[in-house]
């Protein structure tokens, strides 16, 4: 009889313990899912940032290839200067290959990295010898999509090449 009273008393105290265990398990799983969601959001933002840097690299190779096609004018500095994606240089009344290429490159920068005043491209070419030209293409853009709150969000991609 004493044994049956102890069993009844023990059962009465354990009533609802299964529900608490389920609630704690749901809490632990929920915290895990929140961590996974935060990790996914960070991965997406850094992926967008990497894509922007890749697009800047592609744009720098694009203008270098255009200058190789017009190497005489590139050697004289016809491509040197800075373009801003929200204010692309006009082709002009009598278009030249260099003015057409610079306009197309500026438009490409705006399409890929944002047509704003923080997106710019700078070309600096100089003759390194009688048959070679050294060029530096610098592309600067706002990389706030990276989601970093520390430091500057301005990214700069510099490509040096010989034509």
List the pLDDT tens digit at each of the 163 positions of the chain. Answer: 555 655 555 555 666 667 888 899 999 999 999 999 999 988 888 888 889 899 999 999 999 999 999 888 888 889 999 999 998 888 878 888 999 999 999 999 999 898 888 899 999 998 877 778 899 999 999 887 666 655 568 889 999 998 8
Q: Which two tokens stand for residue 84?
A: 């801003």
Cβ burial 53-92 (10 Å sphere, 16+ → b, else e) = bebbeebbebbbebbeebeebbbeebbeeebbbeebeeee
Q: How many domains does the chain have?
A: 1
Identify whether the C-beta of residue 138 lies closer than 8 Å to the C-beta of residue 160. no
Query: Domain limits at 151?
Result: 2-162
Model pLDDT, residue 155: 87
**CB neighbours (10 Å) of residue 155?**
18
Model pLDDT, residue 150: 57
Model pLDDT, residue 34: 95
Element (H, E) at 84: strand 81-84
């Amino acid at each position: 009889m004493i044994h049956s009273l102890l069993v009844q008393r023990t059962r009465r105290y354990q009533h609802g313990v299964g529900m608490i265990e389920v609630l704690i398990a749901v809490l632990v799983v929920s915290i895990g899912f929140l961590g996974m969601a935060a990790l996914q959001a960070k991965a997406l933002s850094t992926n967008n940032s990497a894509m922007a840097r890749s697009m800047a690299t592609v744009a720098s190779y694009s203008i270098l290839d255009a200058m190789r096609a017009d190497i005489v004018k590139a050697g004289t500095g016809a491509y040197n200067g800075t373009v801003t994606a929200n204010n692309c240089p006009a082709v002009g009344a009598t278009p030249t290959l260099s003015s057409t290429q610079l306009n197309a490159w500026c438009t490409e920068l705006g399409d890929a990295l944002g047509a704003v005043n923080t997106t710019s491209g700078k070309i600096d070419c100089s003759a390194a010898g009688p048959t070679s030209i050294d060029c530096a293409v610098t592309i600067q853009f706002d990389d706030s999509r990276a989601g970093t709150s520390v430091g500057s969000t301005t990214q700069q991609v510099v490509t040096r090449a010989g034509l």
